[in-house]
Amino acid sequence: AAQAETMGFQTEVKQLLQLMIHSLYSNREIFLRELISNAADACDKLRYEALDNDALYGNDSELRVEIEHDAEAGTVTVRDNGIGMSRDEVIQNLGTIARSGTAEFLQQLSGEKQKDAKLIGQFGVGFYSGFIVSDEITVRTRRVDQEQGVEWHSRGEGEFDIADIDKPERGTEIVLHLKEDAKEFADAERLKHLVRTYSDHIEVPVRMPKVEKAQDEEGNEIEGSETVTWETVNEATALWVRPKEEISEDEYKAFYKHVAHDFSDPLIWSHNKVEGTLEYTSLLYVPGRAPFDLNQREGVRGLKLYAQRVFIMDDAEQFLPLYLRFIKGVVDSKDLSLNISRELLQKDPQVDKLKSALTKRSLDMLKKLAKDEDAYQTFWNAFGNVLKEGPAEDFANRDKIAELLRFSSTHTDSATQDQSLAGYVERMKEGQQKIYYLVADGFNAASHSPHLEIFRKKGIEVLLLHDRIDEWLMSHLTEYDGKALVDVAKGDLDLDEMADEEEKKAQEETAKAKAPLLERVKAALGDEVQEVRVTHRLTDSPACVVLSEHDMGYQMRRLMEAAGQ
């Protein structure tokens, strides 16, 4: 063929292939789901491009995915009449991994099967999973708007060949040459079962050929009379359109894996059809673990956007605030124009309304999840630090967000962040008006802080904040349930309301007796300090440094210093 060349995979692809083949062996049937998922995406993309160019359909407007097999040859073929790929797209999509942060991510992989299977799942293995069951893969494709077809072929060992071919039909055909130990997949029943298990919810029909032979009068099959009819094997209606009562847990979970490119189950989901001034359907999920690029604020995020059931775009980030960037799912709006672009989305007032509605739904879903302590802890460990950005970003919802926060506390004296503000309030002492917290660099520094002495003595609980973001969080969260949140390292503590008469007297006497000492210390420290005071907040340590109430906290200072301020 013309224009044939051999090219090397990007290093990361080689690494990924190696690890995947080893760690996903016991899950290897997922290859079919991944290929069907790509084929369905390709159909969605064509449908979208054809919105303002109907001619793209040519004489073939019935979008579909077809699966065929050949037991003798040991092959499985997945074919679609979607958008197809150009030569450059093939090289880009099937030769590299474009996501940023990939190299670092792959370095975390250890070669331990169980662990890596989980990590690789975070990554969305996609097309390359075909190599778990194949020793050779051939891809033939033609992009809808191009004349030239392309063939890609590889043994998954470090390089691939690419060549121009004739391909009259648009779309993509992927032929898997099954490995010796994976020949079992070249079987109609097995394939059908896999489609129903993993791809039932895919909106385009997934078809398989059914070979029938005509029968003579006595009911015997007539040789040479085979006719092939195509049978749709999946449900083929968009899952979110179906009534909730008819959708099983397994279907919801399978759909999550499709939209989130994740492997493991979600923790919870929320499916809503809303009618009225704002009409939309949403299906939102909370994943069970963090993707590897969660902390990159510009990482991939957002919902799959549909307008009147037509796919518009992936990763539409305009529908949720940044602090909910871990939420995955679909929003299907009745009110958005089919021609909406990313730029237009930013200006559309409907989008703001949808965003505030979906934010509410997400927070409600988390509230519901919080009823299951174990599941919520899994969520919190993965995404707590992201949710902590909430009060600063979303003032209007800060009370709802505050309900969802979890902290370490002197109540448990454990580094695990599992105490809610509501729990704290319930445990408040008689007469206690405020919620006390302390910010430190790490849990140990927090729990051994001299600032805690008086609180421990009086049996008053203090929240122990030890994440980088905590001070930022607390600067935007000044009260909860009508009670002020107070940093124990700042200003006066007003613990007096809780001191009894005798204690107060003793404190006054100490203050009087120590006046000369204070003068001497003040003289010695001079301008280094603002003020020297007798304190009742220490029981064992002789002295401690306290910030005045409006000073910037230690963490913020350090952040500013690091930024060169």
Instruction: Kindly list the residues in this chain that would bind Mg ion in the complex (CB under 5 A).
Output: 38, 126
Specify the pairing of strand 5-8 against strand 134-142. unpaired
Residue whose Cβ sits closest to ligand ADP: 126
Nearest distance from C-beta of residue 129 to Mg ion, angstroms: 9
Among 29, 34, 151, 418, binds ligand ADP (CB under 6 A): 34
**Which residues is 76 bridged to in the sheet?**
69, 176
Binding mask 260-279 vs ligand ADP (x if CB under 6 A, - otherwise)?
Answer: -x------------------
Nearest distance from C-beta of residue 294 to ligand ADP, angstroms: 17
Q: Which is nearer to Mg ion, 126 or 450 (CB)?
A: 126
Nearest distance from C-beta of residue 271 to ligand ADP, angstroms: 23
Among 20, 85, 495, 546, binds ligand ADP (CB under 6 A): 85
Nearest distance from C-beta of residue 317 to ligand ADP, angstroms: 17
Query: Exposure of 297 by Cβ count < 10 A (0-12 exposed, 13-18 middle, 19+ buried)?
Result: exposed
Report 104-143 residues binding ligand ADP (CB under 6 A).
124, 126-127
- Stretch (H or E) spanning 285: strand 280-286
How many residues sit in the footprint of ligand ADP (CB under 6 A)?
Answer: 15
Determine the 3-state secondary structure of 380 from DSSP.
helix
Residue 96's CB is within 10 A of a number of other CB atoms, namely 14
Determine the 3-state secondary structure of 210 from DSSP.
strand
Q: Which is nearer to ligand ADP, 102 or 555 (CB)?
A: 102
Closest to 253 measured CA to CA, from 241, 263, 243: 263
Q: Which is nearer to Mg ion, 126 or 209 (CB)?
A: 126
DSSP assignments along 463-517, one per residue? EEE-STTHHHHHHT--EETTEEEEETTBS---GGGGS-HHHHHHHHHHHHHTHHH
Q: Which is nearer to ligand ADP, 34 or 394 (CB)?
A: 34
Choose the one of Mg ion, ligand ADP, none that binds residue 85, judging by a C-beta under 5 to 8 angstroms depending on kind. Answer: ligand ADP
Instruction: Examine residue 38 and tell whether it contacts ligand ADP (CB under 6 A).
Output: yes
Choose the one of Mg ion, ligand ADP, none that binds residue 130, judging by a C-beta under 5 to 8 angstroms depending on kind. Answer: none
Half-sphere exposure of 178 (CA within 13 A, CB side): 21
Q: What is the largest CA-CA distance in the chain?
A: 120
Cα 499 from Cα 502, distance rounded (Å): 8
Q: Which is nearer to ligand ADP, 127 or 554 (CB)?
A: 127
Query: What torsion do the CA atoms of 513, 516, 522, 523 make, to the nearest 10 degrees?
Result: -170
Closest to 121 measured CA to CA, from 195, 26, 56, 215: 26
Structure tokens at 500: 């009894």
Q: Which is nearer to ligand ADP, 80 or 467 (CB)?
A: 80
Determine the 3-state secondary structure of 72 from DSSP.
coil
The residues, ordered by sequence, that sit 6+ positions from 107 with a Cβ below 8 Å of its Cβ are none
Phi-psi sector, 236: left (phi>0), alpha (psi -120 to 50), beta = left
Q: Which is nearer to Mg ion, 101 or 423 (CB)?
A: 101
Nearest distance from C-beta of residue 538 to ligand ADP, angstroms: 57
Residue whose Cβ sits closest to Mg ion: 126
Among 16, 32, 66, 82, binds ligand ADP (CB under 6 A): 82
Phi-psi sector, 298: left (phi>0), alpha (psi -120 to 50), beta = alpha
Nearest distance from C-beta of residue 120 to ligand ADP, angstroms: 12
Among 32, 39, 120, 363, binds ligand ADP (CB under 6 A): 39
Nearest distance from C-beta of residue 453 to ligand ADP, angstroms: 54
On whether the CB atoms of residues 464 and 418 are closer than 8 A, the answer is no
Among 18, 93, 96, 148, binds ligand ADP (CB under 6 A): 93
Residue 448's CB is within 10 A of a number of other CB atoms, namely 9
Binding mask 161-180 vs ligand ADP (x if CB under 6 A, - otherwise)?
Answer: -----------x--------
Instruction: Examine residue 15 and tell whether it contacts ligand ADP (CB under 6 A).
Output: no
Choose the one of ligand ADP, Mg ion, none that binds residue 39, judging by a C-beta under 5 to 8 angstroms depending on kind. Answer: ligand ADP
Cα 398 from Cα 392, distance rounded (Å): 8
Choose the one of Mg ion, ligand ADP, none that binds residue 82, judging by a C-beta under 5 to 8 angstroms depending on kind. Answer: ligand ADP
Instruction: Examine residue 46 and tell whether it contacts ligand ADP (CB under 6 A).
Output: no
Structure tokens at 313: 């775009």
Binding site for ligand ADP (CB under 6 A): 34, 38-39, 42, 80, 82-85, 93, 124, 126-127, 172, 261
